[in-house]
């Protein structure tokens, strides 16, 4: 029996192959089985989905919409909901395909979540600032679109 990871990272994407590939390679460079990554490609025509499929890592799970949802009313939200349904970690972390992420901060977040499994959720809104602000935020508040999936299922 395989134990579910503490954290599922979910990313919806559309035509951002280069940015997404760098982000995935950075995230999957973390040597840990405590997280997995779910990507939903919204019908990109720039080779994004093929590039994702080229990554051979069991922590990465990818699907592609047959019909683009992002152009429909609430389409982006539908992609996020679909991703949330796929997540199998105790916590889910929403990451936009164009977001920057501090890999060291992500590693610290995973440790924090393992040490605080009763955390139920949080949101953090970062406006402006540079790398120093992002690092400070990740180090001190930890939370950016994190959901406790066990609480949602109750």
Q: For the segment 43-98, what is each residue's pLDDT rounded down to a tens digit?
A: 999 999 999 999 999 999 999 998 888 777 766 788 888 898 899 998 888 888 88
Report the CATH architecture of 7-153: Alpha-Beta Complex (3.90)
Tell me the C-alpha distance between 141 and 91, whole Å: 16
Q: What is the mean pLDDT of the chain?
A: 79
Burial 102-131, CB ≥16 within 10 A → b, else e: beebbeebbeebeeeeebeeeeeeeeeeee
In this predicted structure, what is the pLDDT of residue 138?
Answer: 41
* pLDDT single digits (tens) 104-113: 888 888 888 8
Q: For the chain, give every domain's residue range.
A: 7-153
The residue-averaged pLDDT of 30-41 equals 96
Q: What is the DSSP string of 107-148?
A: HHHHHHHHH-TT--EE-----S--HHHHHHHHHHT--SSEEE
pTM equals 0.78
How far apart, in whole angstroms, are the C-alpha atoms of residue 31 and residue 16? 25
């Amino acid at each position: 029996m395989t134990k579910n990871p503490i954290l599922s990272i979910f990313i919806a994407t559309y035509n951002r192959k280069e940015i997404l590939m760098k982000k995935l390679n950075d995230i999957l460079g973390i040597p840990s089985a405590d997280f997995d990554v779910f990507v939903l490609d919204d019908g990109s025509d720039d080779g994004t989905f093929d590039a994702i499929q080229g990554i051979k890592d069991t922590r990465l799970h990818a699907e592609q919409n047959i019909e683009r949802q992002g152009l429909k009313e609430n389409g982006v939200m539908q992609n996020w909901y679909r991703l949330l349904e796929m997540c199998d970690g105790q916590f889910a972390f929403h990451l936009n395909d164009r977001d920057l992420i501090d890999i060291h901060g992500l590693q610290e977040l995973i440790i924090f979540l393992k040490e605080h499994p009763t955390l139920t959720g949080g949101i953090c809104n970062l406006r402006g600032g540079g790398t120093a602000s992002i690092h400070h935020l990740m180090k001190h508040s930890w939370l950016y679109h994190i959901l406790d999936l066990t609480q949602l299922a109750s």
